[in-house]
Amino acid sequence: MKAGVITGDVAWALLQHAKENKYAIPAFNCTSTSTVNSVLEAGMKMGRPVMIQFSEGGAAFIAGKALPNEKGKLQASILGAVAGANFVRNVAPAYGIPVLVHSDHCAKKLLPWFDGMLDADEAFFKAHGEPLFLSHMLDLSEEPDEENIAICVKYLKRMAPMKIILEMEIGITGGVEDGVDNSGTAKEKLYSTPEDVYAVYENLNPISPMFTIAAAFGNVHGVYKAGNVVLSPKLLGDFQDYAGKKTGKDKPLCLVFHGGSGSTKEEIATALSNGIVKMNIDTDTQWAYWEGLLKFYKAKEGYLQGQIGNPEGEDKPNKSYYDPRKWIRECETSMVKRVQEACQDLSNVNPAS
């Protein structure tokens, strides 16, 4: 497989290979070139594919917090996502690994962002014969199921000619992510049924087979103290069995795992054996990035109180400690380790030779 950003049939074949061989591609939320590079560095060290994803808020941050990002337009979110995707395209080949570029949760009120990214995909496709992004995620799980599926159908029709993968969500993932708070959701909505999930397959598959489903199985966005929501990755097996009986195919669904932070290795292993091909990781890498700085500050506190003067002398300069390249690099090396750990958890590793 070529190094750099992959899309279309090549990337879809990679996800099928993951499903057959019971590993998943970890998808990391990135909000800067620094976090992108951390993911790429970890992928290079592992010699394995990685996925970079931009949320609507994260994309706006990439473009710059000062830019206008009006409701109904979301111009900074569009600009930042496109800039982020182009940055990954430019640097990824140098890292020598396949890289997948995705956009994260898009709720109904954020559809102008989705439309803007598809405009960019179409322009890129016209020029290069492939889309800018591998895939986009449409999260209409807060809407009634019929409306959710109908909007997904509409968008998949626009995406299919470019072979862009649609990731959709059915059922509600609990917790808070990127400002969307589902912590008060009724318990039964936190678990999808096999019928709910099959309805998605039945409606989308005739348009294009290139879609993935984030079904709810008691997963929660972010890390919380254990509450009354129980993660049940066994349910994913029920979804596959039901869809399998209906279609006569073995494990016909391509499933994705949202809210994976804080899951046990056993829970992840069960999810992998039930056809999870991608898992989102955000909260755990956010902590790792911050912890790199925390540890550096604690270790070098005496060198970080002024431009001049440290424990070695009143006139000693501290430039080499407060240069952003120094402390941001500490964040990066800490995040690289956590990204590698996520690859291992998802069995996204090369067999020992």
As annotated, the active-site residues are: 104
Residue nearest to Zn ion (CB): 258
Q: How far apart are CA 16 and CA 7, in angstroms?
A: 13
- 59 phi/psi in degrees, rounded to 5: -65, -45
Question: Shortest distance, CB of residue 258 to Zn ion, whole angstroms?
Answer: 3
Question: Shortest distance, CB of residue 189 to Zn ion, whole angstroms?
Answer: 13
- Per the CB < 8 A criterion, the answer to whether 41 and 95 are in contact is yes
- Closer residue to Zn ion in complex, CB, 173/340: 173
CB under 5 A: which stretch of 22-30, 44-52, 171-179, 236-244 binds Zn ion? 171-179
Site string for Zn ion, 244-283 (x = CB under 5 A): --------------x-------------------------
Q: How far apart are CA 289 and CA 344, in angstroms?
A: 18
Q: Which candidate, 287, 218, 260, 283, places its Cα nearest to that of 26?
A: 260
Question: Shortest distance, CB of residue 40 to Zn ion, whole angstroms?
Answer: 24
CB under 5 A: which stretch of 152-160, 167-175, 238-246, 292-300 binds Zn ion? 167-175
For position 55 contacting Zn ion by CB under 5 A, the verdict is no
Question: Shortest distance, CB of residue 278 to Zn ion, whole angstroms?
Answer: 12
Rounded alpha-carbon distances, angstroms, from residue 103 to 135, 218, 310: 7, 23, 45
Instruction: Give the binding-site size for Zn ion (rule: CB under 5 A).
Output: 3
CB under 5 A: which stretch of 170-178, 195-203, 267-275, 342-350 binds Zn ion? 170-178
Tell me the sheet residues that pair with 256: 278
Q: How far apart are CA 201 and CA 28, in angstroms?
A: 26
Q: Where are the beta strands (DSSP E) in 157-284?
A: 165-170, 174-177, 180-181, 211-215, 220-221, 255-257, 276-281
For position 185 contacting Zn ion by CB under 5 A, the verdict is no
Q: Write b or e for each residue in 281-303: b if 16 or more Cβ atoms lie within 10 A of its Cβ, otherwise e.
A: bbbbbbbbbebbeeebeeebeeb
Site for Zn ion in 101-120 (CB under 5 A): none
Site string for Zn ion, 302-321 (x = CB under 5 A): --------------------
CB under 5 A: which stretch of 53-61, 162-170, 180-188, 302-310 binds Zn ion? 162-170
For position 173 contacting Zn ion by CB under 5 A, the verdict is yes
Question: Shortest distance, CB of residue 22 to Zn ion, whole angstroms?
Answer: 22
Q: Which candidate, 147, 155, 266, 242, places its Cα nearest to that of 192?
A: 242
Q: Which residues bind Zn ion (CB under 5 A)?
A: 169, 173, 258
